[in-house]
Chains A and B, each alone.
Chain A
Amino acid sequence: MRVTKVVTRTKKSKISLLFGALSSLALAACGSTSASSTPTTAAAASVKKVPLVVYAAEGYDAAEVKGFQQATGIPTELEDHSTGTLLAKISAEANNPQWGVFWSDGSESYAALDQQGMLLRGFEPTSGQLTALGKSLVPADKSYIPTGTTIAGAIVYNSKVVTNPPTSWQQLLSPTWKGAVGMNNPAISGPTYPVVASIMDQLGGISKGEAYFKALAANGLHVYSTNKVTLGALLQGTIKLAIVQNSAGIGFQFTNPALKVAYLDKSALLPSVIGIDAKQSKAEIAEAKEFANFVYSPKGQQLMLSGDPHGDSLFFPIIVGTKAHKVVPQLSSIPTDYPNPFVWGPREASLNQWFTTNIVQ
């Protein structure tokens, strides 16, 4: 069945193949430089190449996929949508999975995918060495691969309006911030569920966490769909504090220098994660592993840093030797929290439903 499918894809994606062929020609023209920089290329060339389908929700994914294709000659097809859309697609395709690699922010969904047996376990890239922080993000069964991290719920504010930003989650309940705080609905914005999970984890459990969010709602919390909409509300002055992913906040500083980012005690880590589809053919799994290795390689890291300079590229690296952008603060200066994704992942659907029912509505 798998072979048939590959044939279909070959038929339907002539443009991609043409692109792949052109890339190969370009590589051949480049000669030894490319070959030496990517040791995997020669090995890949000996195996029959099938199209690798990458489902990704990272700002730098297009640059990374292009770089990977150029370096390896593997025809790679990118599906670039929001995390929510991709997860819905993956769920709907469960009977007949179409993806080879899934790359997005937040390990909770990957833990849930792993518990359903959908992820390849036991694989770690060898082309880069993880830092201590990076190692702490790797799951015990090695079912997914962390590639960097951001902070899920940083506070972004307009320094011309707010001079004394809050420092803890509890302060957001005070009258000072009544009707002034905005966040995303975790049921719609992928990177927001870790904020909810982390706050609940820090407060000691679901019921205490729910009480906190109810108090926050009673204090006039605004709920929007995604980071950009919440930041838009901040720019318009509808809210004074936006709880969003820190990379989005730092990105907005480029065009709005008056914006500042503050980190509350404690802020949830939000790793970007790669998962490999366990149900794909051996050939595609091999290519997916090669993709993960490429991401860990210096070239892959450089593309992660340059692919979306005002957005997702503003991450904290977890590969030894990769340096964050200058505008990104030292992670050591931020009190962080990382709730166990295998505990909080399976709760995602029910807690998001609870949030929509009790906080949004």
Chain B
Amino acid sequence: MRAPLYTRDKEVAVTLPEGDSYRVEPGVKDKERFPSLIGSVLAKAVGWPILWVVLAVILIVPSASFLVLAFSPKLFGQGSSYFTLSNFIQGLQGVTLQGMRDSVVVGLVAAVLATAVGAFLAYVLQRTTLRGRSLVSVGIWGTLLLPSYVIAVGWQVLLDRGGVLSSVHLYSPTLLNLFFGPGGYALILAIKGVPFAYLALSGPIAALGSSYEEAIRVHGGRRSDLLKTLTPIILPAIFSSLVIVFAESIADFGTAAVIAPNAHFPVATYMLYVSLSSYPANFPLAAVIGWLLVSTLALALLAQNRALKRRGFGTLGGKSGVAKVKKLGGLGQLGYGLLVALFLSISLGIPILGAIASSLLKPLSSMALSNLSLFAYRSVFSLQGFSSSVVFSMKMAAITALLGTVLAVLVARRLTNGRLGIFGRLLDVTVLVAVALPGLVLAAGYIFTYNLPLLDRMGVHLYGTTTVLEMAYLAGALPSSSRVLVGPMAQLRSSLLEAARVHGSGPWRSWSKAVLPLVAPSILRAALLTFAGTFLELPASELLSPPGVTPVSVAIVQVLNKSDLYQGTALSIVALGIDLGVIAAAIVLFRVFAPKGWRRVGGRVI
């Protein structure tokens, strides 16, 4: 979005990141970060410990309970020893270790690929005049919301024998083998990682003043020198992007479930799932895999810290000037446009078409227009109980979006509040490490924690209630939604609020008039991300929903397990449609009903 920005005494046109509320203003000092009202009121009233208590209850204790099983299985009735290292010995060899190695390699490849593509998209959207940028922005958000298994299945439908390519005589076993292997696996993870990379990089790329570019040009530098000089300046953002995509990749199960069984390529999350699915479930081994995932991420964070430690990266200041926007001519429009379109077809176009085609295709028929039918959809609408599942999941997703966003604002505010200190760093690591733990681990951790006989004796009866399910949803959503908010929150400064207070405004009025307009779209975005993720969440829904209650994802799995593959696929698409429909409606409502000022200064939601 282009908007006028006022710097000192002149008005300069600047391209703001689509939907992000970054501001390049003079005199930014790191310690002058601005606290949100919710943050400041809660922080003053009850202090930060309350945040830690909440995090402990919903995230830390359940995760730790699961991880402790690796060396003390008897503590939760899973073996005969209170202390043993045998599970680690078993986990650190053979196929489990191989799986971990594969996960790390694929995660690294995905992180590098996603960061490169994310940086390119951030550059195109923030620093060029490419037409249809808001559409690209919508595409990036669509990729973020689309479950990874939908992307994987979509590609499978395209490449499979009997799939779309084979119907036009382009079936290639080589391509199929490439997909069902490390290459395809890394590709899907990279696609899922691109939105995270984009979120991490778009702010810094947008805010990078043109003075650096001008200096290089003045000294006769070439385009390659520009890249060499500017890349280190945004190194912290590049590392953030690499780490978050790596964390998301090693914890991903959706892609692993589709590709791993046929790829002869073990990955950690698949091995974890296998160890939990036989009887008796091998929770201690699963916990060892959990430890491996967590330690790998800890190592990645350590590497990030070491790389950035002794260098200064302060670039946001009054003297860095305003970001320069590249005006694209006809060729530029075409070139950049084609590259962006290529990314969107790979990430969204093919998966969505694949999923829709497979749900429309008549059984045992090849891919051709005459073989498409709506029969699977007709049966969806006659399915009993599905509407109550939709209503239940919508309620839960709405509550999670509301509570989760408040929590995420608090976490993001703490992470961007000047110097982090020990607790701030701990919070950062906790929230990031939580990304690396698969949902299944957290859900199983909830059973061990909240089904303890001790709690029953104490009169705490949480297990088997919707409250516990809600807590698990919150814990699952928090890491991603707080990441989404960290960028915009980091850009806010206390001078705005102070100015409002100096002019006689009360705290609420100051916050709502000076700050809310700037962060409202970001907050809504975090809430929508949480809503989308919760509505279709599976592991916690399966393991923790109370008897007699069927969330949407469980209803879909029940149909897939029992009556009909086609009905199941159609049901998934209907659910995804409802999910995205709610999000689209929320965005439209925001555009129509949010005060004009909010929309003007805060930018678009997507």
Contacts and interface: CB of A to CB of B under 8 A. Distances in A.
A162 B264 CA distance: 27
A92 B447 contact: yes
Given A96-B452, A225-B261, A353 B274 contact: yes
Interface string B269-295: 001011111111111000000000000
Given A1-B453, A226-B561, A308-B562, A91 B542 contact: no
B451 A96 contact: yes
Which of B264, B276, B283 lies at the interface centre, i.e. has the most chain A CB atoms within 10 A of its CB? B276
* 8 A-B pairs closest in CB distance: A237-B162, A77-B547, A8-B461, A84-B277, A91-B281, A236-B162, A92-B447, A95-B77
A185 B162 contact: no
B278 A349 contact: yes
Nearest to B267: A361
19 contacts: A1-B453, A12-B461, A12-B546, A13-B548, A77-B547, A77-B548, A81-B554, A87-B277, A90-B279, A96-B453, A108-B279, A116-B280, A158-B364, A236-B161, A311-B562, A311-B563, A353-B274, A357-B266, A360-B260
Given A13-B548, A96-B456, A356-B271, 10 more contacts: A1-B457, A9-B464, A80-B550, A84-B278, A92-B447, A95-B77, A95-B451, A108-B279, A237-B162, A255-B564
B557 interface: yes
Given A8-B461, A223-B262, A360-B264, A85 B562 contact: no
A89 B280 CA distance: 10
A4 B453 contact: no
B461 A238 contact: no
A5 interface: yes
Contact of A92 (B160, B274, B444, B560): B444
B52 interface: no
Nearest to A228: B565
A187 B272 CA distance: 11
B94 interface: yes
A89 B546 CA distance: 12
Interface in A60-106: 77-82, 84-85, 87-96, 98
A119 B557 CA distance: 28
A308 B567 CA distance: 14
B259 to A, nearest CB: 11
Given A1-B457, A59-B562, A95-B451, A228 B364 contact: no
A188 B265 CA distance: 17
Contact of B453 (A95, A235, A259): A95
A315 interface: no
A296 interface: no
A166 interface: no
Contacts of A292: none
A16 interface: yes
Interface residues of B, number: 63
Contacts of A188: 273-274, 277
Interface in B462-505: 463-466
A83 B95 CA distance: 25
Contacts of A226: 560-561
B100 to A, nearest CB: 13
A356 B264 CA distance: 10
Contacts of A90: 279
Contacts of A88: 276-277, 281, 444, 543
Interface in B422-466: 444, 447-448, 451-453, 456-457, 459, 461, 463-466
A224 interface: yes
Nearest to B66: A92
Given A95-B452, A95-B453, A225 B257 contact: yes
A185 B261 contact: yes
B542 A187 contact: no
A241 interface: no
A256 B554 contact: no
Given A13-B548, A87-B279, A94-B78, A310 B563 contact: yes
A93 B161 CA distance: 43
B381 to A, nearest CB: 17
A15 interface: yes
Contacts of A59: 562-563
Contacts of B277: 84, 87-88, 187-188, 352
A357 B464 contact: no
Nearest to A311: B562
B548 A16 contact: yes
Nearest to A227: B561
A109 interface: yes
B464 A12 contact: yes
B456 A5 contact: yes
Contacts of B276: 84, 88
Contacts of A284: none
A178 to B, nearest CB: 13
A360 B551 CA distance: 31
A87 B281 contact: yes
Contacts of A255: 363, 564, 566
Given A1-B456, A349-B282, A13 B274 contact: no
Contacts of B283: 91-92
Nearest to A182: B262
Contacts of A348: 278-279
Contacts of B447: 89, 92-93
A236 B163 contact: yes
A222 interface: yes
A232 interface: yes
B211 interface: no
A225 to B, nearest CB: 6
B195 interface: no
A251 interface: yes
B562 A312 contact: yes
B568 interface: yes
B386 interface: no
Contacts of B172: none
B261 A224 contact: yes
B264 A361 contact: yes
Which of A98, A160, A255 lies at the interface centre, i.e. has the most chain B CB atoms within 10 A of its CB? A255
Contacts of A352: 274, 277-278
Given A98-B464, A308-B562, A91 B452 contact: no
Contacts of A251: 563
Contact of A222 (B262, B282, B565): B262
B86 interface: no
Interface in A112-144: 112-113, 116
Contacts of B279: 87, 90-91, 108-109, 112-113, 348-349
B377 interface: no
B461 to A, nearest CB: 4
Interface string B521-549: 00000000000000000000011001110
A4 B461 contact: yes
Interface string B219-231: 0000000000000
Contacts of B565: 228, 231-232, 235
A228 B363 contact: no
Interface string A272-283: 000000000000
B558 interface: yes
Given A91-B78, A258-B364, A349-B279, A308 B563 contact: yes
